[in-house]
Amino acid sequence: MFTATYVQEHTGGPMKLEHVLLRLLATRPYSGYDLRKWLAADGQFAGSRVHHSQIYRALARMREDGWVEDRIDPRERRPDARVHRLTERGRQALRDWIDSPYEPTSRFHDSDFVNRFLITAALDRDAAIRLVTTELDHRTEQIARNRDRDRTIHFEDPLPGLDPRRQQAAADLVHQYGAGAVDWWVAWLRDVLRRLESDDLAAPSAVTPDTPDTSDAPDISLERP
């Protein structure tokens, strides 16, 4: 049996391309070409932007490790396809990745979280609840620690032509957007956690992509004194 430590050490980090492929192959067998198409389209939204050569190298490693097996699928009027499917060892590797500790990064909507959520939500509700709770607790603490910090930029002999007011205003605009985005993310996490705990992921969403409330945002007017 693989352990979480084995998965970490074998892949060199919390999530690798192999994990994305394991997740996809858990749904059905894929050819390398079909995996390429998925990663070029839907995969870009799951943080999986890779070159097609990386896909085939990852599949070769997974085949060597006994995680996948393949067969030739004859195609009419098209080249035959090599179709990959999970083995028992591959299913165990997927299970060990799911059970390995999730460590949130400094940036929310991280690809490790997204890919873990997409498989745990369908395969293991308790694991999905733990995952979302870990992410929610981390982001809530992150907001409490950083939201009210002094973001004043201190200038000393700035580059000629650099406008300090515009520099500060630009930084405030970026913060305003980021604060709104992470607040929406936290609201989404709370909504998802509620759905998971009630075992009803298909329930109507309580979160809408409205413009975040920025009533307490700093004044970012360029005309301020």
Regarding whether 40 and 22 lie in a shared domain, the answer is: yes
Regarding whether 156 and 85 lie in a shared domain, the answer is: no
Regarding whether 135 and 43 lie in a shared domain, the answer is: no
Q: Look over the chain and give the mean of its residue pLDDT values, rounded to a whole number.
A: 84
Give percent of the chain above pLDDT 90. 61
Domain carrying residue 129: 104-225
Q: What is the spatial distance between Cα 172 and Cα 10, in angstroms, rounded to a whole number?
A: 42
Element (H, E) at 69: strand 68-73
Q: Are strands 81-86 and 68-73 parallel, antiparallel or unpaired?
A: antiparallel
Checking if the pLDDT of 126 tops 70, the result is yes
- Residue 46 pLDDT class (50, 70, 90 cuts): low
Domain boundary among 72, 101, 130: 101
| pLDDT score, position 180 | 94
Checking if the pLDDT of 10 tops 50, the result is no
Regarding whether 215 and 124 lie in a shared domain, the answer is: yes
Q: What is the spatial distance between Cα 58 and Cα 21, in angstroms, rounded to a whole number?
A: 8
Top pLDDT among 64 and 39 is at: 64
| pLDDT score, position 14 | 47
Mean local confidence (pLDDT), 116-142? 96
| pLDDT score, position 51 | 73
pLDDT tens digits for 68-80? 999 988 877 777 7
For residues 83 and 31, the answer to whether their CB atoms sit within 8 Å is: yes
Regarding whether 148 and 43 lie in a shared domain, the answer is: no
Top pLDDT among 77 and 138 is at: 138
Q: How many domains does the chain have?
A: 2
Regarding whether 161 and 65 lie in a shared domain, the answer is: no
Regarding whether 18 and 120 lie in a shared domain, the answer is: no
- pTM for this entry: 0.80
Checking if the pLDDT of 189 tops 90, the result is yes
- Residue 217, phi then psi, degrees to nearest 5: -70, 155
Regarding whether 186 and 114 lie in a shared domain, the answer is: yes
| pLDDT score, position 208 | 67
Residue type, 177: Y
